[in-house]
Amino acid sequence: MSQNTVIRDAISIDRDGLGALAEALPGMEQALADAVDLIGRMEGRLIVTGLGKSGHIASKLAATFASTGTPAYFLHPAEASHGDLGMVQPSDVILALSWSGETSELSDVIGYAKRRSVPLIALTGAGDSTLARAATVALVMPKVREACPHNLAPTTSTLLQMALGDALAIAVLQMKGFSEESFHGFHPGGSLGAALKRVSEIMHEGDALPLIDGGAPVMAAIGELSAKGHGIVGVTQAGRLVGVITDGDVRRYLERNAASTMQAALHETQAQDIMTSGSVILSPLVMVGEALATLQARRISAAFVVDGDQPVGLITMLRLLNRGAA
């Protein structure tokens, strides 16, 4: 059997597993609602725990919850038995992952939850297991075949754990009204942080803003293009942005007026006569990622940022890319 066939078969088994989970969701509706309610309304933190491959998934889910507005951390069950249970408070909620539901290392966590009345959510593949029976809410996933050819290595089962855990995080996110602005607060670094900034935080402004009055001669527009180096100049009337002139506009204008005198072409013609009106503008509140998408969709390299009808900044493709938007 070729490697491509093995890989294709494994992905097919994973796909079927996710399909089985989707089909099982109607029967889990009340349990899912209870789990989301417990996590969304808790006053403490979400403690996510599991061992082995389930532990790796639990660690990832803790990071996902934390990054989407739910205070969470991963608790290793072995460390829990040696003092780390002291970090768990009655105001917390425990999310325990075990496909078999019989992971012996979780016994101390389960016992502690019972003694301290800490709500316990089980994420398991066995509804009659010790973990499921002890849980406040049991999320029991369907039995599925592992992508492992021996049906032994946790593969499809861990995929289902991650999928359902991520879905819980998204449901809690929506319940809390976690917004793009909230994302920015939790993701200040990297490309995600850059994309979630507002254009007002990175735009060219002040003296760097290329603007001329509509009554200024074309030569003034050329001078502003050269001085500011953005390839675009905003044309204003009484402080309002009424159009733009780009390097291309100037080139096409000069080509059309090649027979004119230099005096007429550059000094007697006004900027408003060659400008392009109805140009793309952005609000200062637009996210950087949205601004990048707008420039790419319109196939332009720059756009003015306008507050009301007043130009307050300029966003260029180069600026966006240099600041990490992608």
Residue-level pLDDT at 160: 95
Residue-level pLDDT at 180: 55
Residue-level pLDDT at 166: 94
Are 167 and 237 within one domain?
no
Residues 59-105 pLDDT 10s: 999 999 988 888 899 999 999 888 889 889 999 999 999 999 999 99
Q: Rounded distance, CA 139 to CA 160, Å?
A: 11
Residue-level pLDDT at 249: 86
Are 169 and 247 within one domain?
no
In a domain, 189, yes or no: no
Are 153 and 252 within one domain?
no
**What is the average pLDDT score of the chain?**
88
Are 166 and 229 within one domain?
no
pTM for the model stands at 0.60
Residues 191-230 pLDDT 10s: 455 566 788 888 999 998 999 999 999 899 899 988 988 8
Are 106 and 156 within one domain?
yes
In a domain, 260, yes or no: yes
The series of mean pLDDT values per 10 residues for the chain, 326 residues long, is 85 92 94 96 94 95 88 91 89 96 93 94 96 96 90 91 95 77 52 68 90 92 89 92 90 83 80 89 88 87 91 89 69
Q: How many domains does the chain have?
A: 2
In a domain, 93, yes or no: yes
Name residue 178's amino acid: F
Residue-level pLDDT at 123: 97
Residue-level pLDDT at 190: 52
In a domain, 187, yes or no: no
Are 152 and 23 within one domain?
yes
Domain with 11 in it: 3-178
In a domain, 57, yes or no: yes
Are 134 and 17 within one domain?
yes
Are 168 and 45 within one domain?
yes
